[in-house]
């Protein structure tokens, strides 16, 4: 994939493999997902056939090596798939995002060879994963968690509850963060791979959300949950590092989701204003409308380039923390502004569910909240600038 000194990868400079994956995801989203978006949003449930299709198309293990059952692609391909799918339904986009940038990445980066050989082929073929970090008192302060892991000779016992866990309803495997050495504070945080049918793990309340409703968000409860020693991901006390590093990767994925969302809202708006007539002509003929369109397109392009820049750095094993924070911050702001402006340009039709932009607007709000709020991203950017 071509690069430049600024590490920006323009869409026109994507390699042939990246373009093929992008186009495949684009076609899949428009042909398979699009007809079911409204129903999934209304039912607040992911269509099980779409989930199966995501696995069959290879979208759930894009940058996992072939020897572990993956597609053998690169990280940029994962970002492109998330973006294209999110242009049609950001709720499905985040399912793909969590699987690729959080769950698969954590196991591939920190798992033992036995763990990678066991879990990754399943996660690439048919098993959804979830990432269980947040708690009632551990949101932005993610490491104030109170879930504990007590060590015994041949097993650990986990106790605690997790909130706002994406994919929880359908997940087979959970990466759970718990404190194995509470007296050490965040230095005791440890990661575990817990199976859904493990005794002591239960799925709690499913949240009734404003947006991305087809993506399940649930509580999970761990009550004397006994897991074997080989379910430990990384080392005891390494959970802090695992969480920080994987969330930094995940923020690029959220940036891609938000860029896709903004593009989807823009595309719907562009088609509408060319068809909608007022005062005897298409509203796209009015200068005020054209100016708004120009602003929207420019903002989407800047957000996309930030996301691609961060993804390119990550793909080439270069420092990307600042760029990931910038991409997530900016793309989420752009998604909110563009989807809001889309409703303005649709007028009254933008406010009803017969048209797609009200859903994009609802879906956009979460972008400034999950995987690190806007204020957390700004704090990270400022800290790195002043270092």
Residues 140 and 256 grouped into a single domain: no
Structural domains counted in the chain: 3
Q: What is the pTM of this model?
A: 0.95
Residues 144 and 178 grouped into a single domain: yes
**What would the two tokens of residue 131 be?**
């990432």
Residues 262 and 376 grouped into a single domain: yes
**pLDDT grade for 383, boundaries at 50, 70 and 90:** very high
Cα 127 from chain centre? 17
Residues 109 and 195 grouped into a single domain: no
Return the higher-pLDDT residue of 12 and 166.
166
Task: Summarize the confidence of residues 285-290 as an average pLDDT.
Answer: 96
371 counts as catalytic: yes
Give the residue from 183, 212, 238 where a domain finishes: 238
Marked catalytic residue, from 18, 170, 336, 371 = 371
Residue 8 has pLDDT above 70, yes or no: no
**pLDDT single digits (tens) 37-60:** 999 999 999 999 999 999 999 999
**What would the two tokens of residue 47 be?**
């269509």
Task: Summarize the confidence of residues 246-251 as an average pLDDT.
Answer: 97
CATH code (residue 261): 1.20.140.10
Percent over 70 (pLDDT), the chain: 96
Residues 135 and 110 grouped into a single domain: no
Cβ 175 vs Cβ 250: under 8 Å: no
Residue 139 has pLDDT above 80, yes or no: no
Residue 143 has pLDDT above 80, yes or no: no
Within a domain: 3: no
| pLDDT computed for residue 277 by the predictor | 87
Give the residue from 96, 127, 158 where a domain finishes: 127
List C-alpha distances in Å: 265 to 29, 313, 354.
15, 28, 14
Provide the pairing of β-strand 173-179 with 155-166: unpaired
Spatial CA neighbour of 214 closest among 366, 316, 79: 366
- Residue range(s) defining the domain that contains residue 157: 130-238
**pLDDT grade for 85, boundaries at 50, 70 and 90:** very high
Task: Summarize the confidence of residues 365-384 as an average pLDDT.
Answer: 97
Spatial CA neighbour of 104 closest among 72, 54, 60, 170: 60
List C-alpha distances in Å: 137 to 69, 81, 133.
37, 33, 11
Residue 123 has pLDDT above 80, yes or no: yes
| pLDDT computed for residue 140 by the predictor | 79
Cβ 175 vs Cβ 191: under 8 Å: yes
Residues 234 and 244 grouped into a single domain: no
**pLDDT grade for 278, boundaries at 50, 70 and 90:** confident
Write a three-state SS string for the chain.
CCCCCCCCCCHHHCCHHHHHHHHHHHHHHHHHHHHHHHHHHHHCCCCHHHHHHHHHCCCCCCCCCHHHCCCCCCHHHHHHHHHHHHCCCHHHHHHHHHHHHHHHHHHHHHCCHHHHHHHHHHHHHCCCEEEECCECCECCCCCCCCCEEEECCCEEEEEEEEEEEECCCCCCEEEEEEECCHHHHHHHEEEEEEECCCCCEEEEEECCCCCCCCCCEEEEEEEEEEEEHHHEECCCCCHHHHHHHHHHHHHHHHHHHHHHHHHHHHHHHHHHHHHCEECCEEHHHCHHHHHHHHHHHHHHHHHHHHHHHHHHHHHCCCCCHHHHHHHHHHHHHHHHHHHHHHHHHHHHHHHCCCCCHHHHHHHHHHHHCCCCCHHHHHHHHHHHHHC
Residues 359 and 290 grouped into a single domain: yes
Task: Summarize the confidence of residues 330-341 as an average pLDDT.
Answer: 98
Residue 7 has pLDDT above 60, yes or no: no
**pLDDT grade for 4, boundaries at 50, 70 and 90:** very low
| pLDDT computed for residue 11 by the predictor | 66
Mean per-residue pLDDT of the chain: 95
Provide the pairing of β-strand 173-179 with 129-132: parallel
Within a domain: 308: yes
């Amino acid at each position: 994939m071509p690069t430049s000194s600024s590490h920006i990868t323009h869409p026109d400079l994507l390699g042939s493999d990246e373009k093929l994956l992008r186009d495949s995801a684009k076609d899949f989203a428009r042909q398979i997902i699009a007809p079911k978006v409204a129903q999934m949003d209304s039912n607040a449930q992911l269509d099980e056939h779409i989930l199966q299709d995501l696995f069959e198309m290879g979208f759930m293990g894009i940058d996992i090596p072939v020897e572990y059952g993956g597609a053998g692609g690169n990280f940029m391909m994962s970002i492109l798939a998330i973006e294209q799918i999110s242009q049609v339904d950001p709720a499905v986009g985040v399912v793909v995002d969590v699987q690729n940038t959080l769950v698969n990445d954590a196991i591939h980066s920190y798992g033992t060879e036995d763990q990678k050989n066991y879990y990754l082929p399943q996660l690439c073929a048919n098993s959804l994963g979830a990432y269980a970090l947040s708690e009632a008192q551990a949101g932005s302060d993610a490491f104030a968690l109170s879930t504990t892991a007590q060590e015994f000779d041949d097993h650990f016992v986990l106790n605690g509850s997790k909130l706002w866990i994406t994919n929880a309803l359908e997940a087979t495997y959970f990466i759970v963060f718990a404190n194995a050495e509470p007296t050490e504070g965040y230095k005791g945080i440890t990661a575990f791979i817990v199976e859904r049918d493990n005794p002591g793990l239960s799925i709690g309340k499913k949240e009734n959300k404003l947006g991305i409703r087809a993506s399940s968000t649930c509580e999970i409860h761990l009550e004397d949950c006994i897991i074997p020693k080989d379910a430990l991901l990384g080392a005891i006390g390494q959970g802090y590092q695992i969480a920080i590093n994987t969330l930094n990767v995940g923020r690029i994925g959220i940036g891609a989701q938000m860029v896709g969302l903004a593009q989807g809202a823009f595309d719907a708006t562009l088609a509408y204003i060319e068809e909608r007539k007022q005062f005897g002509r298409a509203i796209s003929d009015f200068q005020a409308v054209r100016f708004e369109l120009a602003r929207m397109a420019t903002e989407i392009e800047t957000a996309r380039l930030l996301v691609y820049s961060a993804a390119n750095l990550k793909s080439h094993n270069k420092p990307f923390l600042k760029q990931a924070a910038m991409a997530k911050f900016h793309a989420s702001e752009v998604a909110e502004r563009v989807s809001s402006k889309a409703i303005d340009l649709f007028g009254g039709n933008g406010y009803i569910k017969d048209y797609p932009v009200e859903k994009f607007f609802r879906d956009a709000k979460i972008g400034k909240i999950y995987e690190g709020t806007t204020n957390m991203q700004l704090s990270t950017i400022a800290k790195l600038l002043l270092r």
